[in-house]
Amino acid sequence: MAKGLDVGTMNILSARQDGTETVFVQQRNSFVEIEYSDMAEQMLSRSEVLHIRKDDKVYVVGDDALNFANIFSEETRRPMQQGILSSEESSAIPMIKLITEQVVGEPSRPNERLYYSSPADPIDSEVSTLYHEKTLESMLGDMGYDPEPINEGMSVIYSELADRNFTGLGISFGAGMTNVCLAYYAVPVMKFSIARGGDWVDEQTAQATGTPVDKVTSVKEDDFELDFRTDVGGVEGALAIYYENLLDYVIENITREVDEEDIEEGLDVPVVVTGGTSSPDGFEDLFADHLEDARMPFSISGVHSPEEPMYSVASGALVAARSEEGETTEEGAEPDSGPQAEAEQ
């Protein structure tokens, strides 16, 4: 057995194989600190809410954090910011540990192989991902796993481009970042991240319209579509403007980073756009339109967005972990069309 784990700024997800099915477990990567009280005690003891008590404080983590934040008039806090562990959150590590333990569970055997997603270094910010990646590695090792980082963009290639020989451009539009990876027969030839994603869209929209960020996020996640039929002036109009700006910024950076020599002459490159931020209807078409207008040094065979954009990264990490296991398992019990197998052909 092996597992995949997507450690994201907003969501932490695990993936494991159960027969022919892939099983996902998901929690929000957020928490709230509330004062310990009889009322809190009662609410927590009667439910399955994920929490820990420390002295006179209680920390509610994961999906329930938001409910408790509303009831107790507190703000939710996040262990990660812009794709990596937050340097401004002193409780980041214990909180992310608690959420991850719940999402990934115990290893099914000692030193079970676990591939966890890690972003590439951003090209538009000074931050380094090394500390984040190493901290997660030691945390997962302490839980009894044998962890291995996998680039977030590469995970997208593993999950969505198996039928294209793991060749193409994978883009994960997350909350804190956008991760880009170009791979050729399962070998990454270019990878980078951009320190903008859904959070950036929310913050810009909130500022422009004078709306609280949480309100903007819920409008965006509820029924927002990129159809450009909404009137200018409201939250949805502003969201559309910043969405379009994010796409252009990402495309501009890809155009700048891609090296023509990376691509075999005559190859039409398939593009996959995924991640929570790619969810709204119209995103795929808008991205394809803007890509067409860009001066890319190679031709694009098409832009595709998966049915379940939130699952791509965890699922790709699982594919990578299983295919590595398959290599070392006799009788090839694991997938025979995994990336390694393809790459050798």
Ligand X SMILES: Nc1ncnc2c1ncn2[C@@H]1O[C@H](COP(=O)(O)OP(=O)(O)OP(=O)(O)O)[C@@H](O)[C@H]1O
Q: Which residues bind ligand X (CB under 6 A)?
A: 8-11, 83, 172, 174-177, 197-199, 217, 220-221, 275-277, 279-280, 310
98 contact choice in ligand X, Mg ion, none (CB below 5 to 8 Å, kind-dependent): none
Q: For Mg ion, which is the closer residue by CB, 7 or 61? A: 7
Task: State in angstroms the smallest separation of the CB of 228 from Mg ion.
Answer: 26
- Is 174 near Mg ion (CB under 5 A)? yes
Nearer to Mg ion, 62 or 174 (CB): 174
For the CB of residue 260, give the shortest distance to ligand X in the complex, in Å. 28
The interface partner of residue 306, options being Mg ion, ligand X, none and the CB cut-off 5 to 8 Å by kind, is: none
Q: Long-range pairs for 290-296 at CB < 8 Å and ≥24 separation?
A: 290/244, 290/247, 290/248, 290/251, 291/251, 294/251, 294/252, 294/254, 294/255, 295/255, 296/254, 296/255, 296/258
**What contacts 264, CB < 8 A, 6 or more positions away?**
184
Q: Residue 145 Cβ, how far from ligand X at the closest point, in Å?
A: 20
Kindly tell me which of 51 and 78 has the beta carbon lying closer to ligand X.
78
Give the nearer residue to ligand X in terms of CB position, either 40 or 180. 180
Q: Measure the CA–CA gap between 140 and 92, rounded to whole angstroms.
A: 15
Of the candidates 8, 62, 107, 306, which one interacts with Mg ion according to CB under 5 A?
8
Distance CA 70, CA 134 (A): 34
The partner in contact with residue 83, picked from Mg ion, ligand X, none with C-beta cut-offs of 5 to 8 angstroms by kind, is ligand X
Closest by CA to 201, choosing from 248, 249, 239, 247, is 239
Total Cβ atoms within 10 A of residue 220? 21
- Tracing tokens 């190859």 back to the chain, one arrives at 267
Task: Indicate left, alpha or beta for 302 from its phi (over 0: left) and psi (-120 to 50: alpha).
Answer: left
Of 2 and 313, which CB lies nearer to ligand X in the complex structure?
313
| CA–CA separation, 71 and 229 (whole Å) | 36
Q: How far is the CB of 152 from Mg ion (least distance, A)?
A: 6
Q: Give the one entry of ligand X, Mg ion, none that residue 326 binds, where binding means its C-beta sits below a cut-off of 5 to 8 angstroms depending on kind.
A: none
Parallel, antiparallel or unpaired: strands 112-118 and 145-151: parallel
In what helix (H) or strand (E) does residue 137 lie, and over which residues does it extend? helix 130-142
**Is 149 a residue that touches Mg ion (CB under 5 A)?**
no
170 contact choice in ligand X, Mg ion, none (CB below 5 to 8 Å, kind-dependent): none
Name the minimum Å distance from CB 334 to ligand X.
26
Question: 182 or 194, CB closer to ligand X?
Answer: 194
> Residue 221: enclosing H or E segment and its boundaries?
helix 213-223
Instruction: Compute the distance between CA of residue 147 and CA of residue 113 in angstroms, rounded to an integer.
Output: 6
Query: Where in 246-265 is the site for Mg ion (CB under 5 A)?
Result: none
Cβ proximity to Mg ion: between 174 and 316 the closer is 174
Q: Give, rounded to a whole angstrom, the gap between the first and last alpha carbons of the chain.
A: 25
Q: Does 276 bind Mg ion (CB under 5 A)?
A: no
Which span (93-101, 173-181, 230-238, 262-270) binds Mg ion, by CB under 5 A? Answer: 173-181
CA angle 266, 271, 276 (to 5 degrees): 170
Close Cβ partners of 67 (under 8 Å, ≥ 6 residues apart) = none
Shortest Cβ 117–ligand X spacing (Å) = 8
Nearest approach, Cβ of residue 325 and ligand X (Å): 24
Which parts of this chain interact with Mg ion (CB under 5 A)? 8, 174
